[in-house]
Amino acid sequence: MPYKEPAPINLDSESPFESMMERFEHAARLLNLDRGLFEFLKVPERQIIVAIPIQMDDGSVQVFEGYRVIHSIARGPSKGGIRFAPDITLDEMKALAAWMTWKCAVVNLPFGGAKGGVVCDPAVLTPVQLEKIARRYTANLLDTFGPEKDIPAPDLNTNEQIMAWVMDTYSMHARHTVTSVVTGKPKILGGSLGRREATGRGCMIVTKEALDRLRIPVNGATVAVQGFGNVGSMSAFFLHGLGCKIIAISDVSGGYYNPDGIDIPRAIDHARQQRSLRGFAGGESITNEELLELPCDVLLPAAREDQITAENAGRIKAKIICEGANGPTTAHADPILESRGILVIPDILANAGGVTVSYFEWVQDRMGYFWPLEQVNDGLERIIREGFHDVFDTAEQYHVSLRIGAYILAIDRVAQAVKVRGIYA
Residues recognised as catalytic: 115
Q: Are 56 and 367 in contact (CB under 8 A)?
A: no
Rounded Cα gap, residues 284 and 263, in angstroms: 13
Residues 117 and 61: their CA atoms lie apart, in Å, by 20
Cα separation of 153 and 210, whole Å? 28
Rounded to 5°, angle at Cα 320 from 316 and 325: 85
Q: Which residues are bridge partners to 119 per DSSP? A: 65, 85
> What are the E-state strand segments in 270-322?
284-286, 298-301, 320-322
d(CA 168, CA 123): 24
A 10 A CB-CB count for 15 gives 19
Closest CA to 127 of 86, 90, 153, 164: 164
For residue 93, the Cα-to-chain-centroid distance in whole angstroms is 12
Instruction: Tell me the CA distances in angstroms from 184 to 107, 156, 234, 302, one per residue in order.
Output: 19, 13, 16, 19
Residue 24: which of 38, 45, 36, 4 has the closest Cα?
A: 38
* Burial readout 147-178 (b: 16 or more C-beta within 10 A, e: otherwise): beebbbbbbbbbbbebbbbbbbbbeeeeeeeb
Q: Identify residue 366 by its one-letter amino acid code.
A: R
d(CA 324, CA 54): 34
